Amino acid sequence: KLEIQHYWTVKQLGNPSPKYSGSPYYGSRIVVHKNGTLEIRNIRPSDTADFVCVARNNGGESMLVVQLEVLEMLRRPMFKNPFNEKIIAKPGKTTTLNCSVDGNPPPDISWMLPNGTWFSSGIKTSQFLTGSNGILTIYSPDGDKAGKYRCAARNKVGYIEKLIILEVGQKPNILTYPTRPVTGVSGESLSLHCLSDGNPKPTIAWTLPGGHVLDRPQINRKGNYVCKAHNNAGDSSVTHCLEDVYGPCIETLSLGIIFLLSQKHFLKISH
């Protein structure tokens, strides 16, 4: 029985050709096992080379050349924005959810809808479009399309997921409407209420007689006071007709000092 010795050499352009001693051989990244197998750990593009294996015994020798080409480093998928998101869409306006991802090889991206349906890239329906770049387009979003959307990216070296919560905005809704003109008495205080809801939470502004928008205490007259609630989904308004004991709201007698209490959503009028 003849014992076979294995030797590996490397032919790499521009570098000296190291010779790995007979098996077994243990280096920092390169190992030659007893059976002649060459193992390279943490492979990188600079490892591109011709590897020559020589098997030798007293009866002679045989040679094997292995050409190794390392094209690119493999990278597990990674979202460009790794954080979960919450998006408020405007009702009826096309909305996009972004799940852009890097990785090598390029990851396959899929979406899970709130009802549990999975869409791969390149799917187009009357309501959705999944692009190859990780963009999910939602046509005419409404309350039925609100919910949790899950984006998944996978390649041969990894798998990741991300959650995007979609809410569909609600136009402001004024909850308090006057049933008749409000009567004020000179020297006394009164409040004009303007409660509203919506998504996002509406901002409130009062328009005073003459068209001025109230932003600080000031002297004003009786007349029509308009409360306007606004958010990204739209606007709503309500008009309060303020009169005094001497006549209807279209007259222009001075009534008092106006205060806006924005957090309480009402207008306080005092002498």
Given phi > 0 = left and psi -120 to 50 = alpha, else beta, which region is 80? alpha
Does the pLDDT at position 269 exceed 70?
no
Q: What is the mean pLDDT of residues 126-140?
A: 92
Q: What is the mean pLDDT of residues 227-243?
A: 77
CA-to-CA distance for 174 and 268, rounded, in angstroms? 18
The continuous run of DSSP H or E covering 241 comes out as strand 234-244
Does the pLDDT at position 3 exceed 80?
no
**Per-residue pLDDT, 137:** 96
Pick 32 or 267 by higher pLDDT: 32
* CA within 13 Å, CB half, 236: 17
Q: What is the mean pLDDT of residues 109-130?
A: 94
- Show the domains of the chain with their CATH numbers: 5-68 (2.60.40.10), 75-168 (2.60.40.10), 171-270 (2.60.40.10)
Q: Average the pLDDT over each of 53-67, 104-118, 131-145 and give the range with the smallest value.
A: 53-67
CB atoms within 10 A of CB 202: 25
Residues 166-208: tens digit of each pLDDT: 999 888 888 877 777 777 666 667 777 778 888 888 887 777 7
**Per-residue pLDDT, 271:** 45
Q: Average the pLDDT over each of 15-19, 124-128, 226-230, 239-243 and give the range with the smallest value.
A: 15-19
Its pTM stands at 0.57
Does the pLDDT at position 249 exceed 60?
no
Q: Where does the pLDDT of residue 250 fall: very low under 50, low under 70, confident under 90, or very high at 90 and above?
A: very low
**Per-residue pLDDT, 162:** 95
Please state, in angstroms and as integers, the Cα–Cα distance from residue 176 to each residue in 107, 189, 197, 211, following that order: 53, 19, 11, 22
Please state, in angstroms and as integers, the Cα–Cα distance from residue 141 to each residue in 144, 146, 233, following that order: 8, 8, 12
Residues 4, 10, 11, 16, CA torsion sign: negative
Highest mean pLDDT among 6-10, 39-43, 180-184, 259-263: 39-43
Which residue is it, tokens 């492979």?
43
Pick 182 or 96 by higher pLDDT: 96
Contact 80, 100 (CB under 8 A): yes
Residues 13-31: tens digit of each pLDDT: 445 445 555 556 677 788 8
What does the mean pLDDT of the chain come to? Answer: 77
As a whole-number percent, the residues of the chain with pLDDT over 90 amount to 29
**Per-residue pLDDT, 11:** 57
